Structures are given as structure tokens and as C-alpha cells.
Amino acid sequence: MEQQIQRINEDIRQIQDLLVMTSQAVMDQDVSSFPIFVVFQREDSLELGVPIADEGSNPGSWLINVSTLEEFVARQIIVDEKIEDFKAVFKDPRKYFCLFLVTSGTANFIFLPLQKLS
């Protein structure tokens, strides 16, 4: 898992500006205060969120969709009883990307800090 996170971190840095703009748009347009990026392998089929770029623009072997806490609740990925727990651990989306990483039938939330690009 640690190696996958490192690979994702490297791949995400290639499109960090796009993710920042997407996250800000979700918040600025009052779609949600809790943007979540769904990250999954190209060979997996996952209908969650909205693609942020066409397939050729995504880094590495990953596809990335943008979603929200509200969609996760509507689809019962996060149950009503856990909403406040999720909000308590959710990190400032202006400083961190919230990733919902789906690999090999498992899914985990991870938070990657935004980094200044040189």
C-alpha cells in the first residue's frame, strides 16, 4: 500500500494545478465544502463522481474523478451515523487533497498535502 501511495503522490503532482482548480470550483460554486477525488486503476470500472479530465490526460495508470461527501452519503459509502466522524478527520481542502483510493477491491481515504510546484 505504501508503494502505491508513493506512486499516486508522484502521479498526482503532474496534475496538481488541475486538482486545485477542481477542488476550488467545487467549494466556490457551493457544490460542497468536502471535495473528494476518487482515484482508481484504468482497468477498473467505477461510476462515482465526475471525471476531471479525459482519459489521456490522467497521470500514470490512474483515473481520477471528483466527488463530494454528499455523493458518498447518497450512495451510502459513508453512512449517516459516520458523517460527523468523517468531517472531524477531513483536512482543509485548500491545503490537502482528499483521495478515495480504490485498488484491488479495497478502498481507503488518504490525505495528500498540496505542495508548491517548482
109 has which bridge partners?
A: 100
End-to-end CA distance of the chain: 27
Q: Which residue, 101, 90, 109, is CA-closest to 4?
A: 101
SS3 39: strand
Q: What is the pLDDT of residues 58-117, one digit of tens each?
A: 667 788 999 999 999 999 999 999 999 999 999 999 999 999 999 877 899 999 998 754
Distance CA 3, CA 54 (A): 26
SS3 75: coil
Q: What is the pLDDT of residues 29-57, one digit of tens each?
A: 999 999 999 998 877 778 899 999 776 66
